[in-house]
Chain A
Amino acid sequence: MGNLVEIKNISFNFGSTEVLSKINFSISKGDFVGLIGPNGSGKTTLIKLLLGLYKPQKGSIKINGKDISEFSDWGKIGYVPQKATNFSDTFPASVQEIVLTGSLSNKRFLKKYTSKDYDLALEALKKVEMQDFLNRRIGELSGGQQQRVFIARALITNPEILILDEPTTGVDQETQTKFYDLLHTLNKEGISIIIVSHDLQRVTKYVTKVASLNKKLDFYGSHKEFCSHPDHDNEHHCLIIKKGHECKEPKCDEPACMKEKKC
């Protein structure tokens, strides 16, 4: 079985500044990759390269064996951007209309929605528990609710790969827990996931691979390996693994602890 995503020797510059240098790694079907790294380390840039939004100056990216420049099966990729565009609160769009746009990736020229698309939109909204907001205006929702709508927009095509750039920014703890459970379920159903996160602890149980980025790819491997490396001793991404799930006070908001209801 070939790799789902293959990144070979990618380098990327903004003008004369090198942002990514010689990145190599591949993602297999069913992987749940946590992409970590400090601010400005190139995480979003790498994701935009994966999506074909930027073109690498060096190296190649293949999805399902096909070079990204020739890739056209956009319905197979769901993307939740880091920041939704800074649309104004008065933007005249309902939640339903926004989610439906996700299905445009499965359509050819002169794209119109079918009644099936409306069903799929409702289904996607149910997955993020936003079905009651179907006809609300997007600008009237809270930031976290909007984020859930954007996740639904990415899910509407039942993608094979879900790419999420800090998707839970501004989402409350309880919803985050549900959201990560949802990702876990999707992953078990066979969807590969790439998630940029500043807080891997929340996904610890589910992440199969960790990619640590800082212009170069510092590390790529399992979460356990990552944390057993002496350099990563004090990484907050490893606290749970180091200390186990002691569900005492300050950790009560962690998904594992909330589940065990020990708090």
Chain B
Amino acid sequence: MLEILEYAFMQKAFITGIVIAIACSLLGVFLVLRRYALIGDGIAHISFGGVATGLLFNITPFFGALIFSLIGSLGILNIKAKTNLYGDSAIGIVSHSSLGIGIFILSVANGFNIDILSFLFGSILAIKQSEMVLSIVLAVIVIAVIYFFYNELFSITFDENTSKTFGIKTGFLNTLLIVLTALTIVGSMRVVGLMLASSLIILPAASALQLRLSFKKTLFASAIIAVLSVILGLYLAYMFDFAVSGTIVLLNTIMFILTQIYKKVKSMLIKK
């Protein structure tokens, strides 16, 4: 099975997939617990507008997505702060506006439909060296932020309001978390595609939370689940010629089901 690693494109796919999986699944634990799980989807929609704009103006779609997702995610925070809307409505407003821009551009200039598909559904086997390096840098930043701000992030995740009375800069940390999520979503565009980008944020975290571990162990479990799904997904996709992104996401779904079974079995054993 190791012979697939002899191909350079496979090595890049594995490395990029693994580091993106780690970044997504770690952020996911915080986002899911704060009921911000859908922000990943929102940012993916926003990025779609950026990709289309990029293609239209002949800028690298990656940068189009990056700029759109950064502005869009800050916009979400802003709308949430300025209006009394809940986070999900704020996400909806910004993401659908950007999605609208993307679809509008596509309909006006309909020459690049094929390119757009690779962004929607991922193209991990065509990842460039530079994209791999960027993904690694991104994952290192995510891990560093979580390491250095662990206690504060834990506190605001549990109880944001009271955390303010501890002198924790909740506004700064929220912005940091959302911006990192935006970067990570754009980074995962090539791995699983925008359609499934938020799956690596939600599913591993949701599965890990079923295991009833401590907070730190939940973070590790989430990362392990995500990395396993990427490794196994790439392997299966290569062996059987499946779509990579779909395989990765389905494996995550299977993991989630397995955690449910584990929970049932465990509670049955305890009852005995």
In the complex, residue of chain A having the shortest beta-carbon distance to the beta carbon of B219: A92
Q: Which residues of A contact B215 (CB under 8 A)?
A: 92-93, 97
Name the residue in A53, A101, A110 with the highest tally of chain B Cβ atoms < 10 Å from its Cβ: A101
Interface membership of B164, Cβ < 8 A: yes
Range class of the B interface residue count:
20 to 34
Task: State the total of A-B contacts with C-beta under 8 angstroms.
Answer: 77
Stretch at the interface among B90-98, B151-159, B195-203, B238-246: B151-159
Of B33, B152, B165, the residue contacting A91 (CB under 8 A) is B33
Interface membership of A51, Cβ < 8 A: yes
Name the residue in A93, A100, A113 with the highest tally of chain B Cβ atoms < 10 Å from its Cβ: A93
A101-B151 in contact (CB<8A) = yes
A129 to chain B, nearest CB (A): 22
B33-A84 in contact (CB<8A) = no
Interface membership of A137, Cβ < 8 A: yes
Interface membership of B218, Cβ < 8 A: yes
Interface membership of A90, Cβ < 8 A: yes
Interface membership of A224, Cβ < 8 A: no
Interface membership of A94, Cβ < 8 A: yes
Interface membership of A81, Cβ < 8 A: yes
In the complex, residue of chain A having the shortest beta-carbon distance to the beta carbon of B208: A92
A76-101 CB mask vs B (1 if < 8 Å, else 0) is 01010100110110111110011011
Q: Which residues of A contact B162 (CB under 8 A)?
A: 79, 81, 85, 150, 153
B212-A101 in contact (CB<8A) = no
B161-A85 in contact (CB<8A) = yes
B185-229 CB mask vs A (1 if < 8 Å, else 0) is 000000000000000000000000110111101100000000000
B215 to chain A, nearest CB (A): 5
In the complex, residue of chain A having the shortest beta-carbon distance to the beta carbon of B159: A85
Interface membership of B125, Cβ < 8 A: no
Q: How far is the CA of A79 from the CA of B163 in the complex (A)?
A: 10
Range class of the A interface residue count:
20 to 34
Q: How far is the CA of A81 from the CA of B164 in the complex (A)?
A: 12
B218-A92 in contact (CB<8A) = yes
Interface membership of B237, Cβ < 8 A: no
- Known contacts A74-B165, A79-B165, A104-B167; A111 and B152 CB within 8 A of each other: yes
Which 10 pairs, one residue from A and one from B, show the smallest C-beta to C-beta distance?
A: A105-B166, A74-B167, A101-B155, A104-B166, A92-B218, A85-B159, A79-B165, A92-B215, A51-B165, A111-B151
A-B contact pairs, 30 of them (CB 8 A): A51-B165, A53-B161, A53-B164, A72-B167, A74-B166, A74-B167, A79-B165, A81-B161, A84-B159, A85-B162, A87-B158, A87-B159, A90-B209, A90-B210, A91-B33, A91-B158, A92-B214, A93-B158, A93-B215, A97-B154, A101-B163, A101-B166, A104-B152, A104-B166, A105-B165, A110-B148, A111-B152, A112-B151, A113-B151, A150-B162
